[in-house]
Amino acid sequence: MYIPLDRLYHFIEKLANEIYDNPVIIYRFWPHGSKKIQDINPLKPSNWAHYQQTPGIWCHDQEPLDTVFDKRDMKNTWNDLLTMLDLVQLRTSLKWYVNIFKKNILLHSEKRSYAIEKCLEDGELIPVYYWSHAVIARDWFRYAKHEAFKKNVTKQFLIYNRAWSGTREYRLKFSDLLVEHGLVDHCRTFCSPIEDDRHYTQHNFHNNVWRPTYQLENYLPPSLADSCASADFDTQDYQSTEIEVVLETLFDDDRLHLTEKSLRPIACRQPFILVATHGSLQYLQDYGFKTFDSIWNETYDTIEDPYQRMQAIISSMLEITTWSDAQRRDSIRRMKQIADHNHKHFFSKDFSDLIMNELRMNMAQAFDQIRQNPGFDKWLGRWRHLLQCPQIQDFLDINQDLNQPTRHQYQQILDFIKRYPKTVADRIKI
């Protein structure tokens, strides 16, 4: 399945151009789905001068910010030369290109984040939050708006469980607890024992508490879903189950980062239990959604310790399996009322406006910072120093076909700066 995420980034580019009233450059992961920091590339190809003169928006908005501060192997002739001459230092953040602006923008999708705190400390990137997965989920699940999802229940719980490496290794222990507490027969679920040609028994766990004690493949069928599965929904799955137990990307973590996985049951009118970081139910409530604390115990959302939170979720599931017929009928009626509200709100203009206005407001504040302190003086000083070096002059003279910086391009940049308010030009002393 091809997921056209570039549509989102073209929209963000258009929005940013309107807010900034000047061009911007969008950098995003390509190919989509990559988590390698070296795969963040420009949305549109351009020349060197454009990259220098234009503020960048680094879109690290699909995955948690685990790779922002990794070093990139820069294998570019120009950068190699500057490094050899000890004229620049390679960065350890996303701001790899020598840029005329003091700061660029990091577009992200997480709250309560140590990575964002690190960005603020380093001072080279301005973090801009928006709930990217809400934007794309409204696109990916748009046909769920027209589905009836007529119930023919065979299992109480629907649990999608595919990948278990990285931040998702907790999912193995969750499956383990389903087996331990006799919940497997109540679930439509899966668990693949092998990922990336490695069995989970050979996995080097970051947190050993998530190592399962049961041989999971003896109790659970393997998942046949691919990496694009969360961008779609299966009508039969939602018709044959009552409650989805959502296994989010982050659980053993402190950050708030909800993906389309949490919004799929909402789009499909399905009640849900959220296996995510603490405070995630409150996160949904802050965006206008209702949860199910009037029907089962949701105090798990307040528990910071991840293993205790998992145990509390299992306890809520066990409680649900003990409902009498009368309790179950009453609970289904009340669950439907909440699920209908969530479905309606998800596809409403109010929700769309809420997430878009949040993006606009946060981006506008970031561009205000760039306007107030563009940092041209530091950039100009660096270039004046570079252009005095004979090695640089020789390099420019013999490599014109590589579209590297020339004196003409440098003059273009000076002209670009002069278009800014006179107070800025005076401060730089052009």
Helix H, strand E, coil C: the string for the chain is CCCCCHHHHHHHHHHHHHHHCCCCEEEEECCCCCCCHHHEEECCCCCHHHHHHCCEEEECCCCCCCCCCCCCCCCCHHHHHHHHCCCCCCCCCCCCCCCCCCCEEEEECCECCHHHHHHHHHCCEEEEECCHHHHHHHHHCHHHHHCCCCCCCCEEEEECCCCCCHHHCHHHHHHHHHHHCCCHHHEEECCCCEECCEEHHHCCCCCHHHCCCCCHHHCCCCCCCCCCHHHCCCHHHHHCEEEEEEECCCCCCCCECCCHHHHHHHHCCCCEEEECCCCHHHHHHHCCCCCCCCCCCCHHHHCCCHHHHHHHHHHHHHHHHCCCHHHHHHHHHHHHHHHHHHHHHHCCHHHHHHHHHHHHHHHHHHHHHHHHCCCHHHHHHHHHHHHCCHHHHHHHHHCHHHCCCCHHHHHHHHHHHHCCCHHHHHHHCC
pLDDT score, position 407: 54
CA dist 6 and 32 (Å) reads 9
- Give CATH 3.40.50 domain extents, the chain: 142-348
Nearest to 162 by CA among 241, 246, 77, 252: 246
pLDDT score, position 203: 95
pLDDT score, position 380: 67
pLDDT score, position 224: 83
Whole-prediction pTM value?
0.85
pLDDT score, position 114: 86
Domain 142-348 indexed as CATH 2.60.40: no
pLDDT score, position 406: 54
pLDDT score, position 402: 40
Q: For the stretch 363-379, what's the b/e string if a residue is b when 16 or more beta carbons lie within 10 angstroms of its beta carbon?
A: beebbeebeeebebeeb
- For the chain, 430 residues long, the average pLDDT of each consecutive 10-residue run is 79 96 91 79 79 86 73 42 46 48 91 86 87 96 95 97 94 98 97 93 96 97 83 95 97 96 98 98 98 98 98 98 97 98 98 98 96 77 66 56 50 56 43
pLDDT score, position 383: 65
pLDDT score, position 270: 98
pLDDT score, position 374: 84
pLDDT score, position 124: 78
pLDDT score, position 352: 98
pLDDT score, position 395: 56
pLDDT score, position 80: 53
